[in-house]
Amino acid sequence: MRTRRTVFKTAAFIAAAALTLGAAAPLSGAFTATPTTAFAADYTEITQGGLTIYKYDDHAEIVNSDATMTSVDIPASVDGVPVTVIQMYAFQPSKITDVIIPDSVKEIGNYAFAGNTELKSVSIPDSMETIGIRAFEQCPKLETVELPDKVFGIGAKVFSETPWIEAHRDSDSLVIVNNMLIDAEGAEGDIIVPSSVKYISPSAFQRNPKLTSVVVPSGVTKLNDNVFALCDTLKSVELKGAESIDCMAFYNTPMLTELKLSGKLKSIDDMAFMDTTCASTITFYGSKDTWDKVKKPEDDTYLKNATYIFVEDLIDEPDDPKPSLLGDANLDGKVTIADGTAILQSIANQDKYALNDEAKLNADCCNPGDGVTAADALTIKKLDAGVIKTLPELTE
């Protein structure tokens, strides 16, 4: 064991820029991560069960692992202090097949398990607060991911290029898990994010080439880094409850001519609209005086070029859209087994049997808010057979 002293600094802009440029993790060689402790602090290095661990006075961090291990037992504590962090690159490279993360861990660092060619399943505990960018990307066998039933910080592209994310995309272009919108790269046209969503991961819509408009519900209070970066066809966005707009959220969105902002907005990052210079109309649901108090860049080209509309008599943004007839996926004005067929067809082939926004709202009749799934088709089948009498069906 040995004692060291270190300082760790983060740079939000560098991280955002790396994501915008599509930077992926280095996937070969061994790495030793810098501890996440915000200020200089003493720690003791411990080797245990193939893991390199930094032990501090009040917690411990896993920083490296034996690349030849095929299984791992991540301890919940070391010498009386909880293991709360799995550091950046900690399991890269690695041959482990399954990971159960103990309920002491609150943070998984950037690229922590990225590029693991054998990893098949991972269980994330209820204690988790943050999963860093691309933490599990390029894991070609990762099919099972257990996430806690709560909203927490899932970073950009965490499960990119894994069978798990691809299976979810095949089910719905909006990958929503436990009220978190994790991925929307495949979304097309005019999108209304379900009102149940409370969190949108950084870069969720990034580089989407077919997106034209997005309505973000009032429950999403923070628009994270890069959410709409490089969306070349995006023309309109409505943020019903956003209190902050983060770094490069609208980076290089050249057709963004309409933006509707919540009167609850408090801050816009200096680089939120970086390289977006088109003329636009910004509707602010509040007074000009309230807008003037919003912390924002004074010299931003997009904001300077905009025409402003202030809607002072509307304190709360318009209600989230409601289904016209729950269960009526084919919009024929009635609910029959044909609606279940329409749902299954849309899941199997979205290009040929796409549901529009109204149809999606109607189709989401089993546990509304979790998106359109095969469970909705089964619910309609139950209704048709008389097994259930009314919609929606709540199974959770």
Q: What is the pLDDT of residue 12?
A: 45
CA pair distance 174, 183, nearest whole angstrom: 6
Provide the 8-state DSSP code for 256. Answer: -
Per residue in 352-383, pLDDT tens? Answer: 898 988 899 999 999 988 889 999 999 999 99
- Residue 115 falls in which region: left (phi positive, over 0), alpha (psi -120 to 50) or beta: left
Pairing mode of beta strands 107-108, 130-131: parallel
- For residue 123, the one-letter residue type is S
Tell me whether domains 177-320 and 322-396 share a fold: no
Q: What is the pLDDT of residue 333?
A: 82
pLDDT band at 300 (very low <50, low <70, confident <90, very high): very high
Domain edges within the chain: 1-171, 177-320, 322-396
Per residue in 91-126, pLDDT tens? Answer: 998 999 999 999 999 999 999 999 999 999 999 999
Per residue in 207-258, pLDDT tens? Answer: 999 999 999 999 999 999 999 999 999 999 999 999 999 999 999 999 999 9
Is the Cα torsion angle 308, 312, 315, 317 positive or negative in sign?
negative
What is the percent of the chain where pLDDT is above 90? 78
Higher pLDDT, 33 or 53: 53
Architecture of domain 1-171: Alpha-Beta Horseshoe (3.80)
- For residue 239, the one-letter residue type is L
CA pair distance 214, 212, nearest whole angstrom: 7
Tokens at 344, concatenated: 């299954």
Is 80 exposed, middle or buried (CB count within 10 Å of its CB: 0-12, 13-18, 19+)?
Answer: exposed
pLDDT band at 127 (very low <50, low <70, confident <90, very high): very high
CA pair distance 230, 203, nearest whole angstrom: 10
Maximum pairwise Cα distance, the chain: 72
CA pair distance 204, 158, nearest whole angstrom: 10
CATH of 177-320, one of 3.40.50.460, 3.80.10.10, 3.40.50.300, 3.40.50.2300: 3.80.10.10
Higher pLDDT, 84 or 23: 84
Higher pLDDT, 210 or 333: 210
Average pLDDT, the chain: 89
Tokens at 300, concatenated: 């931003």
- Are residues 65 and 35 in contact, defined by beta-carbon separation less than 8 angstroms? no
Q: What is the pLDDT of residue 323?
A: 85
- Are residues 343 and 366 in contact, defined by beta-carbon separation less than 8 angstroms? no
Helices 337-348, 374-385: inter-axial angle, 10-degree rounding: 170
- Are residues 324 and 290 in contact, defined by beta-carbon separation less than 8 angstroms? no
Question: Is the model's pLDDT at 44 over the cut of 90?
Answer: yes
Architecture of domain 322-396: Orthogonal Bundle (1.10)
CA pair distance 300, 150, nearest whole angstrom: 36
pLDDT band at 134 (very low <50, low <70, confident <90, very high): very high
- For residue 358, the one-letter residue type is E
HSE toward the beta carbon, residue 161, CA cutoff 13 A = 15
Strand order in the sheet with 199-200: 175-177, 180-183, 199-200
